[in-house]
Amino acid sequence: MGEQDSSKGMHPSFAGVIQQRARLRDKLARIKHKIGVYSAKGGVGKTTVAVNLAYTLSKMGKSVGLLDADIDCPNLPMFLGIEERIDTSSVPFKPVVKEGVRVASTAMLIDEASKPIIWRGPMITKMLGEMFEGIDWGELDYLIIDLSPGTSDAPLTIMQLLHMDGFVIVTTPQKIASVNSGRSGLMARKLNVSLLGVVENMSGGAPSSNTNELLGVLGTDLLGTVSLDDNFNRLSDSGKVPVLHSEKIRKEFEEIARKLVS
Ligand SMILES: Nc1ncnc2c1ncn2[C@@H]1O[C@H](COP(=O)(O)OP(=O)(O)OP(=O)(O)O)[C@@H](O)[C@H]1O
Ligand SMILES: [Mg+2]
């Protein structure tokens, strides 16, 4: 997977962004692949796919980091049962390691993680920039980035600031999901960020006609389907990673990860 120069899609007056982007390219040079998990639609399973993909890659012998880029609702630590805070007394910060995966979230930086975070776009952009400047991920094969829904603030910042390998788009079988996941894919295209493929989550097995339409619109491939399965809720609600506890879920994610890696 090659990196693309997404500064082409940027207005030239974004001098600060361009400088920070160049600095982050050097700072994050020891991360081989940076992959975003994204959909403009809320609740389709972005965090679920990001978490399970990260742990599947880790079980395949890759060194993996997992970043929560959802600044408003940083859910990642809850999905992983992490209550530990990142030690901010010395810079650079170290991510928290959970069963072999290096994890960072703004929820690990604040005192009361369940309090509402009411920020305008520039604050979100600043926070994400500071996280990338401040965290020492070390050497990684993959950094998986869990995005927030929508097509502004956090997704836009990630696309503009980082040299991403690309985005995995998550959808569900419903038309409303494919339309809004389509928006995310088209946004990535507009900003010259690659699409690595689509995951149909909460799937009945074969991809729905809406998902097939989405693949056509985006001109990308299906990475795989993930079944609608109550084990996701049961396990994630108790801070357990589904691929580490369910054979069926593990197999589905192994297929997705194999396609992604190849
Ligand atoms: N395949 C699945 N089967 C059943 N439940 C699922 C599945 N995937 C995700 N869920 C559940 O759906 C809920 C929403 O999932 P998740 O938080 O991953 O979505 P999201 O897209 O990250 O949401 P947000 O837009 O709020 O960030 C969670 O409770 C999760 O456990
Ligand atoms: Mg989420």
Q: Does residue 113 carry a pLDDT above 70?
A: no
Q: Which of 37, 38, 47, 253 to mutate to test the pocket of ligand 1 (most atoms within 8 A of CB)?
A: 47
Domain assignment present for residue 49? The answer is yes
What's the CA-to-centroid distance between 192 and ligand 1, angstroms?
A: 28
Assigned token pair, 256: 């997705």
Domain assignment present for residue 201? The answer is yes
pTM score, whole prediction: 0.93
Domains of the chain: total: 1
Nearest CA to ligand 1 atom 23: 43
Domain assignment present for residue 113? The answer is yes
The pLDDT value given to residue 118: 75
Domain assignment present for residue 14? The answer is yes
Q: Does residue 69 carry a pLDDT above 90?
A: yes
Q: Does residue 154 carry a pLDDT above 80?
A: yes
> What count of other Cβ atoms lies within 10 Å of the Cβ of residue 56?
26
Nearest CA to ligand 1 atom 25: 42
Q: Does residue 7 carry a pLDDT above 70?
A: no
Ligand nearest to the CA of 79: 1
Give the mean model confidence (pLDDT) for residues 48-69. Answer: 98
Domain with residue 54: its CATH number is 3.40.50.300
The pLDDT value given to residue 119: 77
Domain with 163, as residue range(s), is 6-261
Write out residues with Cβ below 6 Å of ligand 1.
42-48, 70, 73, 75, 149, 201-202, 226, 228-229, 232-233, 236
The pLDDT value given to residue 2: 43
Give the sign of the dihedral formed by CA 153, CA 154, CA 156, CA 161: positive
Domain assignment present for residue 76? The answer is yes
Domain assignment present for residue 109? The answer is yes
List 171's β-bridge partners, or say none: 200
d(CA 144, CA 66): 5
What's the CA-to-centroid distance between 147 and ligand 2, angstroms?
A: 7
What's the CA-to-centroid distance between 107 and ligand 1, angstroms?
A: 18
| Contact yes or no for 249/243 (Cβ under 8 A) | yes
Assigned token pair, 215: 């693949």
d(CA 191, CA 70): 20
Q: Which of 16, 37, 21, 24 is nearest to 223 (CA)?
A: 37
Strands of the sheet containing 166-171, edge to edge, are: 96-98, 101-104, 64-68, 140-146, 31-38, 166-171, 195-203, 222-227
Q: Which of 4-18, 61-75, 85-99 has the lowest mean pLDDT?
A: 4-18
3-state secondary structure of 153: helix
Domain assignment present for residue 1? The answer is no
Contacts 24+ apart (CB under 8 A), 174-179: 174/208, 174/210, 175/210, 176/41, 177/39, 177/41, 177/44, 177/210, 178/208, 178/210, 178/211, 178/213, 178/214
